[in-house]
A and B are shown apart, each in its own frame.
Chain A
């Protein structure tokens, strides 16, 4: 079972605002899900390399050349708030 502090810490990292009810529900649900995950401890994986991705491609690069991209107007078209060519947000600091 996770502590309330652990749940709050993870929610803060994830920038998720949780109601008290949600916090309690997630605390229980994550607790039982993570308990289920312990089945992985049965496996000795000390000598096993991790798989991050399954395809044999490495460092797929291209030349850094300037090409036409999305027009600024289209980039901003879905913006909840905009000002000139900027996305407008609330102040970072109060």
Chain B
């Protein structure tokens, strides 16, 4: 095919699918283009922990053979990158941690299996904050990922690798996970689309657990339509996950159709406080004006308990994590320090295997659950969670979607927030309430400040992913932020 590697890697997932179906390109050519791109830019971006080049080539050959035999499947031959928190059978899965450095899962996560059954080709496992705890990917035990728009800045976190890979054209799409904003915030900082589905929409089987009442798997891509394609494959009930909703899965691609006339958009005033950078606010307000021009009715609303979200989350999530991470004990898998007694080996294995942020959160969570402190901390936080959810329920009586900045700032510099954990936690002030309420949320690129991307967050009622994706795609049809590429592409 005459297309250069660069042109192939600029295709959206849906464009690539059309070219594959038209036999204009083969899955092998497409995969080789991405592997070449990865080879060219990875030393700068460092999005990947494991690149599965040979497996990808084999999967691509298999996809071409299936197509030649007259078969098709929703993702046949399409390359995807996977956050390293998702179990992939036979492929090292580290969760960004030394405690799982050599762990090879014996099974695929349901999300991974569904993509594979749909014909996807897996390029590799992407870098992340250790056990999904972080907002910058600097907590990876291995190395930080860099923001393709400015290599001295963070890509966001915890799914920084997955976001950066898409932004750097190393993959047309990827999977991440979101517990307090870990898909949406890196999507905003890297200038790509990221979707966190309704809690329960996508099975968590095979997702290494951080906070079981908050975790969700979701897609990154450069368009909302691409995210719709992936969500259609990922979503749905799973007998292996009792928290996966039995609700029917709509035809998300079909739901993209339609205009925004009469759409009621609520803008919560509490998301526009003093911590919001002026350039971010300007880009978001301009995006709201675009939605109005597209026919939406935009009005202010109040979510009065917004300011309590970070405190509630940083009690609930670490508490759940302290239970979920108890399994890393050097017995069944992972890093193990030999010691005279079993108890000693627990202390030493966990001391050496976990990084500082993970230890901080395990300690915080254990404290919040411990006798004498449970009522004042964990139970209190769960009650505040009810108040936050109720705020949203009330807002959705008057509005179809809510629109906010995804992140109060653009990408910050590597190292800038490492000495103050609270400053890092406040990166998630706009995204956390959405996880606490279990609602779907997405981030769509809406502009730049000094060359750094800004994201617009859209939040909907439970199971309204179709609506969110339609609003985001109409916005993208009217703008071209997602067709800009980091200058990485010119040099590399």
Contact = CB atoms under 8 A, between A and B. Distances in A.
A89 B342 contact: yes
Contact of B243 (A22, A53, A75): A53
Nearest to A77: B106
A26 B360 contact: yes
Tell me the interface secondary structure of chain A in the complex. Answer: loop
Interface residues of B, number: 69
Q: Classify chain A's interface size.
A: 35 or more
Contact of A14 (B106, B314, B363): B363
B438 A54 contact: yes
Nearest to A89: B342
B336 to A, nearest CB: 4
Contacts of B360: 26, 29-30
B384 A91 contact: no
B181 interface: no
Contacts of B383: 43, 45, 48-51
A72 B356 CA distance: 34
Contacts of A34: 364, 367, 377
A55 interface: yes
B348 interface: yes
B384 A43 contact: yes
Interface in B175-228: 199-200, 213
Given A51-B382, A77-B106, A30 B341 contact: no
Interface stretch (B62-70, B159-167, B255-263, B324-332): B324-332
Interface string A22-41: 10001001101110110111
A15 B341 contact: no
Interface string B150-171: 0000000000000000000000
A73 to B, nearest CB: 9
A23 B12 CA distance: 49
Interface in B383-432: 383-387, 389, 421-422
B88 interface: no
A40 B345 contact: no
A23 to B, nearest CB: 10
Given A16-B359, A16-B363, A74 B421 contact: no
Contact of B382 (A19, A32, A50, A57): A50
A16 to B, nearest CB: 5
Interface stretch (B141-149, B303-311, B470-478): B303-311
B492 interface: no
B61 to A, nearest CB: 27
A94 interface: yes
Contacts of A1: none
B248 interface: no
Contact of A80 (B200, B331, B382): B331
A11 B363 contact: yes
B222 to A, nearest CB: 30
Given A15-B347, A33-B314, A50 B386 contact: yes
Contacts of B377: 34, 37
A50 B103 CA distance: 37
B312 A33 contact: no
Contacts of B322: 14
B385 A50 contact: yes
A90 B338 contact: yes
A70 B87 CA distance: 15
Contacts of A65: none
Shortest 4 CB-CB distances between A and B: which pairs?
Answer: A54-B438, A50-B382, A17-B351, A17-B347
